[in-house]
Every structure is written in C-alpha cells, then in structure tokens.
Amino acid sequence: QRASVHNPRAARTDDCCPGSGGNSMHTVSPPARAYYRAALLGLRALEAREGRERRFGADADARWGRFRGKLHEGDRLHVLLRDASAPWGLASAAAHIFQMPGVARDEPFGPAWPSPSPAEARRLLDEADQAPTLAPFDHERLVEVGRKVRALYPAKAPERVQAKVTDEIVGGLAEGVAGRLGGKTGVAPRIYLKKLVLNVLDKVDQFEAFDPLHDYSLVIDPETELRPEERAAMAGTATPDDIDLDL
C-alpha cells in the first residue's frame, strides 16, 4: 500500500507485534519514519533540558530489559510516545500530526498505525540517543544568559544600569526564581528573563532612585504568570513527565 502524509503506512509483514494491541508490524514508510525520528529527537532534547536519563541511555535500556517480557523495541518506542502524547499530544501524537479520521482525541496512534520492526525501532532509538543536544539549564547557564541580556539591554542610562544591576543582582534573581519553582532550573528561564527585564532593568533605567538591591522583592503569581509546567514546579506537584516509569 502506498504511503502518504495522511496514510503513512507501508507493506505489512506476516508477523504480529506482541503487546501492540493487534497492530501488525510494518516496514514503516518515509513519512512515518520521519515522524518517529522527529518525535524521539524532541523527547531527547526535553530529557537533556531536564538533566535526566529516563527514556534514553544505558540505565533506560536496563529498566526496559527488566520490564519488557515479550514486548520488543517497537513496543518500547510506542510506550515512550504514548507517554509523551499525554502532555504534548499536538506535538507527539501521530493521529494529530497526520490528521487521521475516526481516531479518538486521546488516542495517539489508532488501530492501523504501523509499528516498526524491532531492528528499525532500535536504530531510531539509538539515533535519538546519540544525537547532540544542548546542555541542560543549570544555575551557571541561567546567570550567563542573564548577564548577556544585561549587556544587550538598550538602556537610556547605561552607566546606571551597569552600576546597579550587578552580577550579585543577576545571580540572586536567578537563584530566587529557580527556588520558587522548586529548584527546577530547567523551567526557570522564561520567568527569570521576564523578571530581569521588566522588574529590574527597565525600572533601573527609568527611575534614577530605584535600587534593586533594596527596592525589589521577587513576587511570582502562579495564576497569572505561570504556564502549567511552571505552576506544577512551584507547587511541588508532579507533571506526567516527572513520574519515573521503569521502562
């Protein structure tokens, strides 16, 4: 059967994938392979940002080996993407991406979606695992970005900004924002930079008497300022991705 964007399937084999809900194993088509590659690279980038190895790497392989039973690497790939489709369905669910008709909104694949062979799934997982990624945000990187923003800030009073928005202020604000977000520096950059620009740099530049060391206190309103993942970090609650499954 010819593959297309809306029907990304290829010829079936005679084998059936154990544990895949009845889906037959396929040699997946180029569109489906591109989907798998992009979705796994997205998960790899997310994992690098978090500084964890929950889905990829030797530890993840060992956990999957203990869990798998009769499941194979194609099933593992689907488990990873089903897990990701809960919080990021529009970005990681094949049914959304390929606009599959008749598939429930909470079902990421549908009954006809092709499962790759174990060998092909292993290649896709290895490719994602070996892909270069950015280092996760830690305190030092957050402060470094803050310093760069300070240097690039288009101040009308650059001498005052340089004198009052010191490295101590930049670093202290980074520590304060990350602390309010449960120590999860990976989710802190957006709020940190917003506070740095609007509440510190702008005010120092506009008001000669304003001294952030004495006049500014960090306040974050979770209801109006935070995205769901930031709100969860602030509340110390687990998002779906925080739950470590032995896969």
Which pLDDT score, from 0 to 100, does residue 204 have?
97
Which pLDDT score, from 0 to 100, does residue 129 have?
87
Tens digits of residue pLDDT in 21-45: 334 445 678 888 888 888 888 888 7
Which pLDDT score, from 0 to 100, does residue 23 have?
46
Question: Closest Cα partner for 28 from 51, 45, 48, 12?
Answer: 12
Extents of the domains making up the chain: 12-130, 139-237
Per the model's pLDDT, the better-predicted residue between 150 and 57 turns out to be 150
Per the model's pLDDT, the better-predicted residue between 158 and 133 turns out to be 158
Q: How many other CB atoms are found less than 10 A from the CB of residue 29?
A: 20
Per the model's pLDDT, the better-predicted residue between 26 and 243 turns out to be 26
Alpha helices in the chain (DSSP H): 30-50, 58-67, 73-92, 94-97, 118-130, 139-152, 158-164, 167-180, 189-195, 202-206, 212-215, 222-225, 228-235
Report pTM. 0.50
Cα angle 227, 230, 235 (rounded to 5 degrees) comes to 120
